[in-house]
Chain A
Amino acid sequence: DTEVTQTPKHLVMGMTNKKSLKCEQHMGHRAMYWYKQKAKKPPELMFVYSYEKLSINESVPSRFSPECPNSSLLNLHLHALQPEDSALYLCASSQTGIGYTFGSGTRLTVV
C-alpha cells in the first residue's frame, strides 16, 4: 500500500458544528503532516507529527485540533470554524522526511 487515504473527500459544515478529518497510511512512515491549501495558492504547513508526537504547530488557531492515535492514523478535529477556513486540507506522510506522499485532500466548505 503506497497511498495516503483521506476521508471525507468533501465536507460542508456550519460554524457551530464539530467535525473531523481523517488520514490513514500503511507505509510505515513515522512522520505525518496536515497542510491547508486555499484556491490558487501553495499548500501551507499546519502541523507535523513525528513518531506520534506533535513536533510542529505553525501557529494554527485552536479551532483546529490535531490528533495522532497511532502511527497510521492522523485526525484533524474542527470546531467553530469560520468561512475563511474553507480550503483543501491535505494530509501527507514521509519516512525520515524524504519521499513525502500526499493524500487527495478533503475539500472543506464552512457555511
Chain B
Amino acid sequence: KQEVTQIPAALSVPEGENLVLNCSFTDSAIYNLQWFRQDPGKGLTSLLLIQSSQREQTSGRLNASLDKSSGRSTLYIAASQPGDSATYLCAAPNQAGTALIFGKGTTLSVSS
C-alpha cells in the first residue's frame, strides 16, 4: 500500500532563503508525482507534475525532482518570499493508479 511522508511538518525561514521540502513514498512503481500548494481554508493548487521519465520539473522559482529508486522527491524553492507561505503537499498514485495518496504536508512560513 502506497504511503507518502513529508518532512518537516513545519518550516520557518527568513525572506530570500533557498529551501528544500522533502517527500518520500513507499511504492516506487509510480508513473508520476504531483506537488500542490494550499493556502489556509482554500483548495489545492497544482504546482508541478513530474513524470517518471523525468528527473526534474521547473516552474519559475520552483524545481521538483523525482528519484524513484530511492522513493524520494524534493521541492526546491529559490529566493523565498512571504507570499510563498502556505502548506505544500506531495501526492503519489496508489498502487492501482486510480487515485492519489497525499502526504500530510509541510507548512512553510516566510518572514519579511
Whether A and B are associated in the same complex: the answer reads: no
Q: Which residues from chain A sit less than 8 Å from chain B, CB to CB?
A: none
